[in-house]
Structure 1
Amino acid sequence: MSQHAHSASLMPALAEPPSNRQRTFLRYYTGTLIDLVVLGLFDEFSDNVWVHSFSIALLAAIVLQALLKLTIGIEHWVLGFISSDGWMKVVKLFVAWIILFGSKFVILEALSFAFGDKVRFEGIFHGIVWLIIVVVVMLAAEEIVVRFYRRLA
């Protein structure tokens, strides 16, 4: 058997493109793993972020991924009701900022409720600054991975 025939026999007969549900799963799965890595690195290298164990970090990454996606969904939904004409652009920007900034307090409370003292953000303003830093790094890391992935096409 030739090399080409051998490698072709290892491939499926029909390669089907992924469904929307499969793409959504992969997006959240990848985002959760990125969040886990970022949270783990902050836990290891910062005195202001502390996670009790790897399994707690994994659960916290899942919660963070869900809450961040929920926040972005709410932001887009609310902003859909505000026009982008003239000075309303400023209102739209302010509302987006309020939602995104305010959500960090909700996220911090949700993490505290779900994990108690097993996940802690400490420092300025009861840890909210470090939570914001971690979330911004998570979002930046996700964006970098997405851009890298798109360049592979």
Structure 2
Amino acid sequence: MAEQADTRLSRVDGAVVGAVVDLFVYTVVLNLFVEYLPGVISETFTLSLLTAVLLKVVLEVVLVAKKRVVGRFRAASTRTGKVVAGVMVWAVAFGSKFLVLEAVDLVFGDRVGLGGFFSVTLLVVTLLLARAAAERLGGPDGMRRSTHRPPAAVGHRARCSRTPRAPSVPRRDEGGVP
């Protein structure tokens, strides 16, 4: 029973850490866009942080919707079903950019602007790539998915990463030269 509670707690801790890492990554990427793309505007750092939170929420909803639609695409057995599901995947991917633009405009008005469709598309792609890179570099999900396993330990030498030592010189009591 305690083991199940520990497992649930570690999953929650991992999810919280993952969300915080995502927010840091989103904030950095968003501020780089603010700095280098004239169409992307945020009046203050606080607004860019809040925009990152909004982007995190919206993109999570979009990813859930996309996952469901892709599941329908894979489950479709007829050609018509595949075409319809493919159009739905495209509609979710295309429409999500407008959802992001409208959500930011609704919440922040003129104080935050993400430019137009192409700058938002570039922003979203960059956010998702940066998120994947952070996970690979050691984020909570990256560590869980890691395939690296330490070698089976035979003894102390199997666990050590030292280089093998040269044979030792015999001591006096072992018949060596005095």
Q: Which residue of 1 aligns with 2:77?
A: 85
What SS is found at the alignment partner of 2:77?
A: coil
Aligned residues: 134
Tell me how far 1:147 sits from its aligned partner.
1.8
Residue 104 (structure 1) aligned to one of 94, 97, 100: 97
Q: Which residue of 2 aligns with 1:116?
A: 109
Tell me how far 1:86 sits from its aligned partner.
5.8
Q: Which residue of 2 aligns with 1:60?
A: 51
* Equivalent-residue separation in structure 2 for 1:29 and 1:90 (angstroms): 38
Letter in 2 for 1:147: R
Letter in 2 for 1:54: F
More helix by percentage: 1
Q: Which residue of 2 aligns with 1:27?
A: 18
Backbone CA RMSD of aligned residues? 2.1
* Equivalent-residue separation in structure 1 for 2:136 and 2:82 (angstroms): 27
What SS is found at the alignment partner of 1:27?
A: helix
* Equivalent-residue separation in structure 2 for 1:59 and 1:132 (angstroms): 19
Paired-residue identity, %: 28
Does the aligned pair in 1 maintain the 2:105–2:112 contact within 8 Å? yes
In structure 2, list runs of 5 or more residues that go unmatched: 1-5, 149-178
Letter in 2 for 1:110: A
Residue 36 (structure 2) aligned to one of 45, 57, 73: 45
Does the aligned pair in 1 maintain the 2:72–2:85 contact within 8 Å? no
Q: Which residue of 1 aligns with 2:173?
A: none
Tell me how far 1:84 sits from its aligned partner.
4.4
Tell me how far 1:103 sits from its aligned partner.
1.3
* Equivalent-residue separation in structure 1 for 2:65 and 2:13 (angstroms): 23
In structure 1, list runs of 5 or more residues that go unmatched: 1-15
Letter in 1 for 2:99: V
Whose Rg is larger?
2
Tell me how far 1:62 sits from its aligned partner.
0.2
Q: Which residue of 1 aligns with 2:137?
A: 148
Tell me how far 1:93 sits from its aligned partner.
3.3
Structure 1 residues 38 and 92: CA distance shift in structure 2, 3 A? same
What SS is found at the alignment partner of 2:113?
A: strand
* Equivalent-residue separation in structure 2 for 1:140 and 1:98 (angstroms): 21
* Equivalent-residue separation in structure 2 for 1:40 and 1:22 (angstroms): 27
